[in-house]
Amino acid sequence: MTDNTHSSPPALVEFQNVSVVRDGHRLLDSVSLTIREGEHIAILGPNGAGKSSLIRAITREYYPSAGGAGVVFRFRGRDTWDAFDLRSHLGVVSSDLQHTFTRGISGREVVLSGFFSSIGLFLSHEVTPAMERRTDEILEFLEVAHLADRPMTELSSGEARRFLIGRALVHDPSTLLLDEPTNSLDLAALHTFRKTLRKIAQSGTGIILVTHNLHDIIPEISRVVLMRDGAVQKDGPKADVLTSEAIADLFRVPVRVREEDGYYYATGY
Ligand SMILES: Nc1ncnc2c1ncn2[C@@H]1O[C@H](COP(=O)(O)OP(=O)(O)OP(=O)(O)O)[C@@H](O)[C@H]1O
């Protein structure tokens, strides 16, 4: 008899033995990783560890270089996906995207453009009253309604980052995937960003945070995956994974890891 009382939520991402080779370079090396719906997880690794490649595999920009027995490459239980469809389940926030907003697009337009998976709005885009309402809700939730009409180029990095999160939230995705989200944020912006991310996590949205900064890992994140050389080095509960030994080994520098108020910091390097 099956006991459903303690069954885990269904898998969002299910990878077994996924390797990706590009231009003769092994970007992912036999990665096995299951991420469940609603989970709050961090993927931590040094520069060049393969984090961006993993994100590209999750969002179907990269496919496994070899299939066959033992290779599993699924998103929400399915092998094949239309990228547009996938993004209605997974909101992607990348700080790189911020640099592509160069013309005078307002924060509100950035959020609305999420409905069309575009960068800004174009004449062919038909914005419906329902889209406007959803955008208003998101702007309120992210506490940026007062900045919504300002051009992105006139916002601070921290403010602009919140509009990018808003853009990723338009389809009400079950999970947000954040790629190095605190790059170029100062202390005040980092503080606001953490508050925003905690609010999203607490609202029930899953979080996949990809970063090389320990201090990005908000207390709501309970599981951490360490990546190096395209491979998963360690995967488990945060307190077991974020030890001084494991982080020193991951970054190849002598560090001490300490925990304070639910956040982890590396010192001594
Ligand atoms: N298309 C490609 N062809 C060849 N090598 C690549 C390609 N893309 C990435 N690489 C290399 O693969 C390795 C992993 O890159 P990736 O961008 O996934 O790492 P990362 O962990 O995201 O790094 P960072 O934190 O610096 O962004 C790096 O050594 C990179 O130079």
pLDDT exceeds 70 at position 213: yes
Instruction: Please give the single-letter amino acid code of residue 111.
Output: V
Ligand 1 closest atom vs CA 54: 18
Distance 61 CA to ligand 1 centre (A): 14
> Mean of the pLDDT values across residues 81-110?
80
As a dihedral over the C-alpha atoms of residue 82, residue 167, residue 207, residue 71, rounded to 10 degrees, the angle is 20
pLDDT exceeds 50 at position 2: no
pLDDT digits (tens, 9 = 90+) for 129-175: 999 999 999 999 999 999 999 988 888 888 888 999 999 999 889 99
Give the residue whose CA is nearest to atom 1 of ligand 1: 22
pLDDT digits (tens, 9 = 90+) for 14-68: 999 999 999 999 999 999 999 999 999 999 999 999 999 999 999 998 999 977 7
pLDDT exceeds 50 at position 255: yes
pLDDT at residue number 185: 85
Contact 264, 217 (CB under 8 A): yes
CA–CA gap between residue 43 and residue 235 (Å, rounded): 9
pLDDT exceeds 80 at position 266: yes
Distance 127 CA to ligand 1 centre (A): 37
pLDDT exceeds 70 at position 219: yes
pLDDT at residue number 98: 64
136 φ/ψ angles, rounded to the nearest 5 degrees: -60, -45
pLDDT at residue number 215: 92
CA–CA gap between residue 151 and residue 114 (Å, rounded): 16
Residue 47 CB–ligand 1 contact under 6 Å = yes
User: With bands split at pLDDT 50, 70 and 90, how would you rate the model's confidence at 242?
Assistant: very high
Which among 31, 53, 59, 214 is the best mutation to test ligand 1's pocket, defined by most ligand atoms within 8 Å of the CB? Answer: 53
Residue 107 CB–ligand 1 contact under 6 Å = no
pLDDT at residue number 156: 86
Distance 52 CA to ligand 1 centre (A): 7
CA–CA gap between residue 143 and residue 109 (Å, rounded): 16
pLDDT exceeds 90 at position 120: no
**Which residue in 114, 100, 115 sits closest to 163, CA to CA?**
114
Q: Where are the beta strands (DSSP E) in 48-205?
A: 72-75, 90-94, 175-179
**Which residue in 252, 187, 249, 232 sits closest to 41, CA to CA?**
232
